[in-house]
């Protein structure tokens, strides 16, 4: 038998490639995709029933409700949101704060439905149903803004 035939065994190589491919596929299948839809669903699952986040093509919309009826809509423009310092959980307010970059000024457009008025603000509060550890909610909001403004954003670990 030729020495090359002994070193190169097609059946062994085929088996190795099959095992390697299946292992790699299993790893990919179990990895969580923290995309916009997943992140919005996660955020909405942590907020109380007084507000809800919606993703739109170029911005985020946050609707606020009273007795099940929308009373206010805040439009967040992700490129103006300070995702490093401006998104955090405030225990005293029971909300995740989302604030504009200082240089962006008042970048959140608030539409008061009953009065039919639009006012600009430099922050909004997302009221939450969290009871103790709400840092995951703030992390998810940061991630959501990053998905809009940064290229190649990947997250491999859960928000909590």
d(CA 86, CA 131): 22
Q: Is-contact 71 64, C-beta < 8 A?
A: yes
Q: Which of 57, 83, 66 is nearest to 144 (CA)?
A: 83
CATH of region 36-149, choose from 1.20.120, 2.30.29, 2.60.120, 1.10.357? 2.30.29
Which pTM was predicted? 0.77
R_g of the chain, CA atoms, integer Å: 23
Distances (CA, A) of 35 to 16, 102, 136, 139: 33, 27, 16, 14
129 pLDDT tier (thresholds 50, 70, 90): confident
Q: What is the pLDDT of residues 25-81, one digit of tens each?
A: 444 434 567 899 999 999 999 999 999 999 999 999 999 999 999 999 999 999 999
């Amino acid at each position: 038998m030729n020495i090359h035939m002994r070193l190169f065994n097609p059946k062994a190589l085929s088996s190795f490639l099959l095992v390697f491919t299946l292992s790699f596929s299993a790893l990919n299948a179990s990895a969580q995709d923290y995309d916009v839809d997943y992140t919005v669903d996660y955020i909405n699952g942590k907020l109380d029933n007084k507000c809800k986040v919606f993703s739109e093509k170029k911005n985020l919309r946050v609707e606020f409700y009273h007795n099940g009826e929308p009373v206010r809509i805040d439009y967040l423009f992700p490129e103006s949101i300070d995702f490093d310092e401006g998104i955090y959980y405030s225990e005293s307010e029971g909300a995740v704060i989302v604030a504009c970059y200082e240089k962006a000024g008042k970048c959140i457009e608030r539409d008061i439905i009953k009065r039919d008025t639009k006012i600009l603000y430099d922050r909004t509060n997302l009221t939450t149903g969290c009871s103790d550890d709400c840092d995951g909610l703030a992390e998810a909001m940061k991630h959501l803004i990053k998905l809009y403004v940064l290229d190649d954003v990947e997250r491999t670990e859960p928000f909590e």
